[in-house]
Every structure is written in structure tokens, then in C-alpha cells.
Amino acid sequence: MRLLQTSLAALALSTAGLALAAPAHADGEVNIYSYRQPDLIKPLLDEFTKETGITTNVLFLDKGLVERIQAEGANSPADVILTVDIARLTEAKEGGVTQQVKSDVINKDIPAAYRDPDGDWFGLTTRSRVVYASKERVAQNEITYEELADPKWKGKICTRDGQHSYNIGLIASMIAHHGEAEAEKWLTGLKNNLARKPDGSDRDQAKAIFAGECDLALGNSYYVGLMMTNEKEPEQKEWAAAIKVLFPNANDRGSHVNVSGMALAKNAPNKENALKLMEFLSEGTAQKIYAEQVYEYPVLPGAEPSEVVKSFGTLKPDPLPLVDIAANRKKASELVDKVGYNDGPAQ
């Protein structure tokens, strides 16, 4: 136990973003390595501790999570990995930092389409890569991803970095649907329609629309809910009020979706507590928190999205298998560089 505490203390000194709570008692903790932003998972972890008495210690990383666990080896304090995007889930499995989980509770709650066949990872929520559109300057209420390359939108689109995992997932889906050559043409057209160099977060794209810098942007659906209800930063409510959510390809294949998910770390020192947390995250209470407070789509069958999310409209998910998205991510990343996407529009 002293070794674990020492390891976590060392992490606090060496890694920015570590939020470490003091353990309630010697065997009542679980250590989480997370790519998910702390404010998004805090309501879930607070409820888990309330129900179980188990303290949660969180190490937040924006990159290098797998490499971190690999370097720590058998003495890694990591119990549970929380992450976004199918690529990062498969990266963890392929990096050898996960272990198989066989849980009747999890398998009952999470449909097979959202879990690894071997039990190395599990999807917890889905989110759609939607189009934010200016309420004032965009009349249409329907759009396709393909249309974003139409010259009529020249100088009117904003996005974050093309290499960000959210955009790579979308580009990978375009490769899966259309082939690499057509996806390259599309990405080049999208680049030519950018209002500026890709920059900022998804929330910043909504802010740019509010400021009149662009008329359309790519963003994840749940950010709209977070902005609409942000009491700490009320200016974000103005950004959200300036946009409407368009679900691309709603009249054909459906909108691109990705997942947030979890995995059991390979050398989890608190395995029993880790499994308790994973089962908690798959069940009804946590799935409701994901829906009501994080504004994502729960994967639990029968669980409803929040009223805020329902107000965006109806999501028709693209049925493209997540493994097909993961398989095309390397090509997607290469295309971003090939077309010079992050250089922004040609002058």
C-alpha cells in the first residue's frame, strides 16, 4: 500500500493535471488514468464514492497515457482507463496495457456493438460529430458532410486541429465510406472552405460563429449541452444560443458517431474496486448522469438522452462499425498532412 501511495505521490510531482484525493482507508480506492476532462467525469466519480465509499484518484492526461502505463510496467498504479474515441481504446489494447474483463453486469448493460469481443474495452456513451450552424446566417436545416466541401461555403467554415482525434475519426469514416482518393478530394475541398487556420476547441468553434468569423463548424454534440447550461461561464450560453445543431446525412447513412469508453488496466493493483467502478459506469445511475449532466447519448438499452439533447433534434447514427473507423485512422492522419489541412485556406 505504501508503494502505491509513493507512486501516486511521484505522479503528482511529475505530471500536470493530476487531481489526487486522499484515500478514505487502505483498501478503499481506485486509481483512474483518464483522457476524459476532469469536469466531465467528476459527477460520476462523486456518485460512485457516495454509493460505495471507495475513493477515486484521477490522473488526467491529454496525451501519452498508454506510453505512461507501459513505462510504469508491473508497478503501475493504474486500475481503470477512461478515454474517448475508438482509436484510443484500441490503442490501449494493442499497447498491451489492458486486460480482459468478463462481467455479466457489463455485458448485460453494454450492447455487443459497443464492446471489444475479447472484453478489453467497453464503450460507455456515444456522441455525434455534428455541424454547428449560425442561426442568423444559415437558413438550411439539413446538411451532409460531403456538402462541407462545396465552394458555396468558401471562407465560412471553422474547425479545430485536423489531427485532433475527433476530426480524425470523422475523416476515417469518410475513407471507409468513399475510399481514400475521394476522401482526399473532400478534405481538400473542406480545407479550401475554411475561414481561418484550424484552432481551438469545439467550444471555440461555437464562439467563432457567435463572433461572425464563420457560419459553420464541426463539433461534438455534447458540447452544445455543456455550453447551454454553463452557469460558471455564462458567455458560453451566448455562444450556444448563436448556433443550431445540424445532424449531417440524416436523410441517408446517418451522422458519424464515436464513443467514450473504459478498460481495466493490465496490472490493476485494486482490481476488485476497479471492477466495481466499471460495473457502476455501465449501469443505470451512471448512464443517467452521462445523459443528464454530460449530455452524451447513453449506450444502455432503453436509456434516454436528456431533454436538452433531445432539443437538438433526432440523431440517426451512422451504422459504420467502430472497428472500420479505427482501421482507417492512420490513413486519415496522413491525409491531413498530405493536403496541408492545418495550414488553413490558401491565400
Binding-site residues sit at 222-223
Report which of 283, 279, 284, 288 is spatially closest to residue 80, judged by C-alpha positions: 279
Grid cell listed for 70:
507501459
Residues in the chain: 347
Strands 55-60 and 18-19: antiparallel
| AA letter at 85 | D
Give the C-alpha separation, 195 to 214, whole Å.
6
Give the C-alpha separation, 14 to 20, whole Å.
13
CA distances from residue 220 to 109, 169, 247, 325 in whole angstroms, order as listed? 24, 12, 11, 16
Give the C-alpha separation, 194 to 218, whole Å.
11
Report which of 220, 213, 178 is spatially closest to residue 195, judged by C-alpha positions: 213
96 within 8 A of 234, measured Cβ to Cβ:
no
CA distances from residue 71 to 16, 29, 95, 99 in whole angstroms, order as listed? 17, 22, 11, 17
DSSP 301: T
Q: Rounded to the nearest 5°, which phi and psi values hold at 216?
A: -130, 155
Give the C-alpha separation, 210 to 286, whole Å.
33
Residues annotated as binding site for Fe cation?
A: 222-223
User: Which residue, chain included where needed, has cell 492522419?
Assistant: 333
Give the C-alpha separation, 134 to 76, whole Å.
47
115 within 8 A of 189, measured Cβ to Cβ:
no
275 within 8 A of 119, measured Cβ to Cβ:
no
102 within 8 A of 292, measured Cβ to Cβ:
no
